[in-house]
Structure 1
Amino acid sequence: QHQQHQQHEGQHVRAQPSGASPTTQHTVGGRQLHVQTTKVDELDPESRNVNLLVKCCKVMPAGRSVGAMAGVDPKALTAEALIGDETGVIIMRCNNAHAHALIQGTAVQIFKARVEMVDNFMRLEVDSRGGWLEVTSSAPYFVPNLRNNLSDIEYELCPDEPA
C-alpha cells in the first residue's frame, strides 16, 4: 500500500477522494460505448483499468524525434507526455505509436490505462494487454489544471496494517 507524501508549505497533506466518476458516451471503432471516465485527480498508485478523457500538454522528447530512432521496438517505452484534464495532470509513459499520436493541445481518449510507480512517483501507462488511446475532436472544451501535477507527489510503500 502506498501512502502519499506531499510537501505543501512544510506540511504533509493527503488528497481527499473525489465523488463518483461520470459515465460518458464514446465512439470507438464506429460504435457508441458507455464508458466510466476517471478524472485525473482520482488516480492513485493502485489505479488499474481506468478510462480518461485528457488533453496532451507536452511530449518529451517530441514525438517526431522518437520515430527517428532506428531499430526501436514500437511497443517499447520511448517518450513521456504530460496529459491532463480540468482536475490535474500526470506524466504518461508512451510507446512509439502513442508518442506519434500525441500532439500538444489535442484531446485524447485513453482506455484501459494503469498507474505504475517509478521511483515512488506515479506514471500513467496504457495497458499493453488490450489498452489503447484515440485522438478525438469531439471532446468538450476544458483546460488542463497544470497546478495539480500528480506525478510530482512522492509516495512511500507502507507495510499493511494488521486488521
Structure 2
Amino acid sequence: MLPQFLLLVALPAVVVEGSLPPTKSIASAPWLRGFGDPRAGGCWTRPWICSKGGVPSRRLCCRNRCVDITDDVNNCGFCGVRCPFTWQCCRGICINTNINPFHCGRCWNRCPFGRLCFFGMCGYAQPPFPFPWPPFHPHHPFPPKPPRLPFPLPPQKHQRPLEEE
C-alpha cells in the first residue's frame, strides 16, 4: 500500500517538472552570439594536432580525423590505403594473417619452428614435423597426354600447300 501511495504522490511532481518551459542557457548569451561560426573542427585546418611527438608520426590527418596509420585497415601506412578483406595492418603493412607464419592470426604472432599457419592457427590440420617427403600423389590410371592446341595452326610461309594428286 505504501509503495502505491508514494508512486501517486511522486508522479504529478515529475509531470509538472517535465512540462516547464526551457530557460535560457549560457550558450545563448548575447556576447556568445557575436561569434558566428566557431573554428572548423577536425585536423584539416590544424594538422599538427595529430602528431604526438613520435618521429615519424604514427598518426596522420585522414578525412579530417587523426588516424593511427600503423594499425588501421582503412589507412594502412598512408591515408586511403585499404587492406584486402581478412588482412590486417601490422606496423603500416597489409599482411594476410591467415597464412603468414610470422603473423599467424594476429600481428607478430609467430608459429613455432616446423609449424605452418593455416586459417590463422599454427599447425592447424598439419602432420607432425618432419613432413612426409615427397608428398604422396595418386598415380594416374593412364599416362598423361600432351596438351592439344585449341585450334589448327595456319600453314607456315616456308611450307608449300599439299598438292592434289
User: Given the two structures, how large is their TM-score scaled by the length of structure 2?
Assistant: 0.20
Return the structure number with greater strand share: 1
More relative contact order in 1 or in 2 (CA 8 Å, sep 6+)? 1
Return the structure number with greater helix share: 2
